[in-house]
Structure 1
Amino acid sequence: MGGAFLAAAVLARTGRRIGLPTIPLFILAGILLGPHTPGLVLVADPHDLEMLSLLGLVLLLFYLGLEFHVDDLKTGGRKMALAGGAYLALNVGAGLAFGFALGWGTSEALVLAGVLGISSSAIVTKVLVDTGRLGSPEAKPILGIIVVEDIFLALYLAALQPVISGADSFGEAAYDAGKAFGFLLLLAAAARWGTRVVDRLIATRDNELLVISFLGAAVLVAGVSEWFGVADAIGAFMVGLMLGGTSSGDRIRELVHPLRDAFGAIFFFAFGLSINPGDLPSVVGPVLVAVSLTVVMNVVAGMLAARIHRFGPRSAAGIATSLLARGEFALILATMAAAAGLDERLSPFIAGYVLILAVLGPLAAGRAEWLARVLPGGRAAAAEAADTTEAAAEAAPEPVGATRPGR
């Protein structure tokens, strides 16, 4: 574990010097030091870091919940649902069509619909933090789309499991979906009306006790969520949503930072351990097509979300690039597909697809202004912003003793 931390740190520090984001570098460290590449094998079995990796995911989504206030859900509920629904319709629909076009089978197409349709909550959260966009106008629609995706994710997993495993009991599938949805409603009600009670339970002046309390609550609810068929990440998110509105919310945000960063790095490192580069050449064609399709659908979805929220091309580009990455949900689906005995090409396809977008997503998010320039109205907005900046500079008072050009 110590070697994993240090390897991720050294590679990320080196990459930062040339302007690369940390996420793909953490993943690359896992690939290079894992069991599937020659040379030094730091971790022979990726499952050795499984619990630490899950803790990283829980903390990333817990922090996301802390930043996403209940008031944001109440005031932007309709717009959030419209933007999230549009994003899912475009990306899941494109993924389903792509799956059927490949001809690998109906169950495989349903898996690919989920793989192509759902963003990586963990990577999106890290991107928002790294690029300093948590306070930007487009952060709310981005976080809103993630919430809608996570709700859809819980129901999709519950419905998909009996389908790909060959179960023919509709009643059992309906029961699982109903159980997951009921637990989601319970968490939402607790976040909406239980803040005062939670505040009394968790309030303390002792930082040590506060850390133990919020960490225990996040991990416990994440585990219970998984038992009910809801993604553990959404359980942690809801706990963060509750605690963010308490009197201890600001202190919790400060105290969780080092935990989030450390175990988040292990999450991405462990993700890299699971990728076998040798399996990728056999599916390189479908992977590149899927990546291109996802980029196009994200640009369209970003423009729709920006229009719903009455934002301009810069925000549209920010939404499109921030939501581009795919990650943990795709890997969950790959595991389910392998256990169900589906087409063996699915696992390397998902690994290659996720790897490319996990690298491309953060890079694109850091350069969203390039996309903004080519979107409708982007050049005009950039010119207007430049004129405004120039006018402000001309209107600024001259320093004492300054000499105008030409005098």
Structure 2
Amino acid sequence: MGGAFLAAAVLARVGGRIGLPTIPLFILAGILLGPHTPGVVLVGDPHELEMLSALGLVLLLFYLGLEFHIDDLKAGGKKMAVAGGSYLLLNVGAGLAFGFLLGWGTSEALVLAGVLGISSSAIVTKVLVDTGRLGNPETKPILGIIVVEDVFLALYLAALQPILSGADSLSAALVDGGKAFGFLLLLALAARFGTRLVSKLINTRDDELLVISFLGAAVFVAGVSEWFGVADAIGAFMVGLMLGSTSSGERIMKLVHPLRDAFGAIFFFAFGLSIDPGDLPVVLWPVLAAVALTLLMNVLAGLAAARIYRFDARPAANIATTLLARGEFALILATMAATAGLDSRLSPFIAGYVLLLAVLGPLAAGRSHWLARLLPGGRPPAGPGAAPKPDPEPASGPEAVSLPGTAEAVPGRR
């Protein structure tokens, strides 16, 4: 574990000097020090870091829930639903069509629909933090799309699980799906109506007790969610949604920040451990085709969201590039597909696709002004060496979005 932290830190420091994002470097550290590459093998079995990796994912989504308040859902729910629905329609639909075109099978096509259709909440959160865009106007629809994706994810997994697990009958499949949907509804009601009670239970002046309380709540609900057939990350997100609206929300954000960063790095490192570079050439062309398709669909989705929110080309480009990366959900599906005995090409395809977009996504997000020049309404470059237009100023007033990890107060944040 210590070696994993140090390797990730060293590579991230080196990459930072040449402008590379940290996420693909954490993944690269896992690949280089894993069992599938020659040289030093730091971790021989990726499952040895499975619990720490799961904790990293839980904390990343818990933090995202802290950022996204119930008030945000009520204030812009219709626009978020339309933007998120448009994103899913374009990307999941394209993923399903792509899966059938590959001809690997119906179950494989259903898995690929989710792999190509759902953004990585972990990477999106990290990109927003790294690029300093959490105060930008377009961040609210980005987070809204992530929430819609997370809700869809819970429903999708509940529907897909009986298919992949080979449920004995239709009634068994309906029971499994109903159990997941019921628990998801319970979490939503708790987040909507239980904030006042939760605030009284968790409020304390002692930081030590507060850390133990919110960490225990996030991990416990994540575990129970998984038992009910809902992704553990969704449970952690809902806990963050509840706690973010309490009187302790601001303190929790500051206290969880270093935990999120540390165990988030382990999550991406553990992902790298599972990748065997030798398997990638077999699925090279399908991976490249899928990446090109995802790029196209994200640009169209970014334009659609910009039209809904009346943004210009620059925010549209930011939306398209920030949501580009795929990650933890695709890895969950890869694990499910392997357990269900689906086509053996599926796992290396997902690994190559996710790795490539994990690299391209943060890089594209940091250079979104290039894409903005090509979009309708974008300004052409002023000439060689022209400085890119800076990101929009943070929003102010009731529509402002909070800034994690910063000291400044944000208007509109309660």
Do the structures match in fold with TM over 0.5? Answer: yes
Report how far residue 105 of structure 1 moved: 1.0
The match for 1:27 is 27
Report how far residue 195 of structure 1 moved: 1.1
AA matched with 1:147:
V
The match for 1:237 is 237
The match for 2:348 is 348
Instruction: Give the 5 Å matches for 1:83-102.
Output: 83-102=83-102
Is residue 306–residue 312 contact of structure 1 (8 Å, CA) maintained in 2?
A: yes
Q: 1:167 to 1:176 in 2, by over 3 A?
A: closer
Task: Using the TM superposition, name which of 29-38 and 142-151 deviates more.
Answer: 142-151
The match for 2:138 is 138
TM-score by length of 2: 0.91
Task: Using the TM superposition, name which of 266-275 and 182-191 deviates more.
Answer: 182-191
The match for 1:36 is 36
Task: State the percentage of identical aligned residues.
Answer: 83
The match for 1:123 is 123
AA matched with 1:113:
A
Is residue 313–residue 376 contact of structure 2 (8 Å, CA) maintained in 1?
A: yes
Per-residue CA deviations over 1:52-73 (Å, capped at 9, x if unaligned) read 0011101111111111111100
The match for 2:79 is 79
The match for 2:203 is 203
Task: Using the TM superposition, name which of 273-282 and 326-335 deviates more.
Answer: 326-335
The match for 2:378 is 378
Q: 1:214 to 1:165 in 2, by over 3 A?
A: closer
Partners of 1:80 and 1:181 lie apart in 2 by 21
The match for 2:295 is 295
Report how far residue 382 of structure 1 moved: 8.8
Report how far residue 263 of structure 1 moved: 0.4
Report how far residue 178 of structure 1 moved: 2.0
AA matched with 2:323:
L
The match for 1:177 is 177
The match for 1:333 is 333
Runs of 4+ in 1 over 6 A off after TM superposition: 380-383
Segments of structure 2 that go 5 or more residues without pairing to the other structure are 391-414
Q: 1:382 to 1:336 in 2, by over 3 A?
A: farther
The match for 2:268 is 268
Segments of structure 1 that go 5 or more residues without pairing to the other structure are 390-407
Partners of 2:131 and 2:223 lie apart in 1 by 30
Partners of 2:259 and 2:204 lie apart in 1 by 19
Give the match's secondary structure for 2:204. Answer: coil
Give the match's secondary structure for 1:298. Answer: helix
Instruction: Give the 5 Å matches for 1:157-196.
Output: 157-167=157-167, 169-196=169-196
The match for 2:224 is 224
Is residue 150–residue 231 contact of structure 1 (8 Å, CA) maintained in 2?
A: no
AA matched with 1:64:
L
Partners of 1:167 and 1:179 lie apart in 2 by 14
Instruction: Give the 5 Å matches for 1:47-86.
Output: 47-86=47-86
Report the structure number with the largest CA radius of gyration.
1
AA matched with 2:252:
I
AA matched with 1:330:
A
The match for 1:249 is 249
AA matched with 1:79:
K
The match for 1:399 is none
Partners of 1:380 and 1:171 lie apart in 2 by 58
The match for 1:285 is 285
Partners of 1:180 and 1:59 lie apart in 2 by 22
AA matched with 1:246:
T
Report how far residue 332 of structure 1 moved: 1.1
Per-residue CA deviations over 1:335-357 (Å, capped at 9, x if unaligned) read 11111111111111111001100
Partners of 2:194 and 2:381 lie apart in 1 by 44
The match for 2:314 is 314
Partners of 1:272 and 1:192 lie apart in 2 by 37
Is residue 63–residue 240 contact of structure 1 (8 Å, CA) maintained in 2?
A: yes
Per-residue CA deviations over 1:79-130 (Å, capped at 9, x if unaligned) read 1111111111111110111111111111111111111111111111111111
Is residue 210–residue 252 contact of structure 1 (8 Å, CA) maintained in 2?
A: yes
Task: Using the TM superposition, name which of 136-145 and 263-272 deviates more.
Answer: 136-145
Is residue 373–residue 382 contact of structure 1 (8 Å, CA) maintained in 2?
A: no
Give the match's secondary structure for 2:379. Answer: helix
AA matched with 2:305:
A
Partners of 2:169 and 2:151 lie apart in 1 by 23
